[in-house]
Structure 1
Amino acid sequence: MIALKDALVEAGYDCPRWVQSDTVTRALQSGSCSDAAVLSIYLDSAAVQTSIEALKGLGVGVSLAVGENWIVNSPRAKEVAQMIGGTVVTSPASELPETPPTTPSPPPPSESARPPSSSTPLVTIPTSAPPVSPRRTVTNATLQVGDTAHLATWDVTVLRSEHGKDGISYGWKVRVCYVATSDLAENGRIAVSDKPWSAIIQDLEGGDNPVAAVPIREFERDHAYRPDYLNTTLSLGECNLGWIGIVHGNPDLAWFGIIYEPSTGGRITWLN
């Protein structure tokens, strides 16, 4: 990882602030260079190609310099490739808005995401899974908020997305239903949690920061969104329903969507 960063710097790329965070999905190591470039190292070229396709699947446009086992995600990808070699891979933004999503109109009071806690009854979970007909199993897809993904083990729906009124929080109302048996179940029950979820964000401050998928667990949870999405276990036919709310503290973040990537397989992206 450091060797890739050093090669960039020696070739003349400006990198005054280096942070190795190792947070890029599928990468062995990763880090950011001055918030304007993300560097990542992979096991092999196959892992690189898988990561490229995943980035393209976000629909937000990519600008990459790609080597045999590395990627530099930067608006200056062409310049990077000229400096240290590699191939330039780009794709235009096709599905996400050019500006941050606007705050959706508030729902009726009975459905509000952040009502006073004293008037908010907790939803009892698990609940019965909604009927699905016909069923079409997918492993990778890009959907819109409101759509349901039918995976081999789960039916997963992102029902709503909403900015917090404080301007520094965000939430998604999700439903995860256990619909087909899995080897990961123990005594007939399988664990569900916020671990498979990642937010698709971009820091607009500075203008050149890349879009990134950041695991939900790297944020502080905002439990004011009710009902809360709980870490629990489900029996076959049961669902976990609730809000995944987070506090980020940065009013310059743009929120493009959310990703679900469970250990049972599959990767589904919902765009706001």
Structure 2
Amino acid sequence: MTNENAPKRAESYSCEYCDYVCSKSYDWYRHVSTRKHKILTNTNKNASKRVKKYDCICGKTYKHASSLCNHRKKCKYDENNISINSTMNSTIDSTIDSTDKSKCMNSIVENEDISYKEMFLELMKKNSEITNIMIEQHKTIQTMVPNINKSKTTTNNTTNNNFNINIFLNEQCKDALNMTEFIESIQLSVEDLTNIGELGQTKGMSNILIDKLNSLDIFKRPIHCSDIKKETIYIKDQDKWSEDTGQKPKLKHALDEIVKKSMYAIPCITEDPDTIVKTMSEVLKDPREDKKIISRIVKGICL
């Protein structure tokens, strides 16, 4: 009675190659169709095939003649007080003819099944590859040399330009106004404000700054541009010259101050409501065309 009620023992499938066990035939068939199983079973089948071996007199065995050749260069085994490594090197490096070389090699590897033709072809192939690599490297170097010289020239020119502009600013322009002092000194005229309304924000605002700067001696100006294309601007503030990099925050701050001056000056200069509205709308135009204004200023003050 006990045997009848006992659960049936599941049939087990086992793969020794993959160390895999399962109880369902579906899983078993899925396993034997996997790439891993096929590789391992094929490997074991191929292992039974006879593989040609290359033996060294020191006892080590290799599957390839090239591997044996590489091993011989490092082998320290001593037979009859003759070093195999030194014998091989002296044989290869000697200038004897091909017949003598063959005899020397045969005496070293006597009774060994080695295909020296295969070894020679392998070495020739490696030498050819190395030669091709060296040729390509030489071509690459020849291509790079002019670029390196050009880069050095550009670097030297940039260094010289930076050195020259620093001398100009710190020596010749050491008495220049600070930007804050310059902005405070600006007195806006009716013409300045009218131009903002008629010419627009970009031309009107940039013309004010350019005209006021050009009215100063070049060595007294608080702003200089050394490169129009790169818009490289230097501004003096707190008695120190520095480059206004990135988004030109110092120059934008100066434009903000001119906007404030314009707003206060418009009602004092004219009572014409149309002029006031037109000018004020351009002054307060948002977003302000800072990029265009800065480009015009750079062109107007570049050294």
Larger Rg: 2
Normalising by the smaller structure, the TM-score range is under 0.3
What is the TM-score normalised by the length of structure 1? 0.24
Instruction: Flag the structure with more relative contact order, 1 or 2, with Cα contacts below 8 A and sequence separation at least 6.
Output: 1
Query: Between Structure 1 and Structure 2, which shows a larger proportion of strand residues?
Result: 1
What is the TM-score normalised by the length of structure 2? 0.22
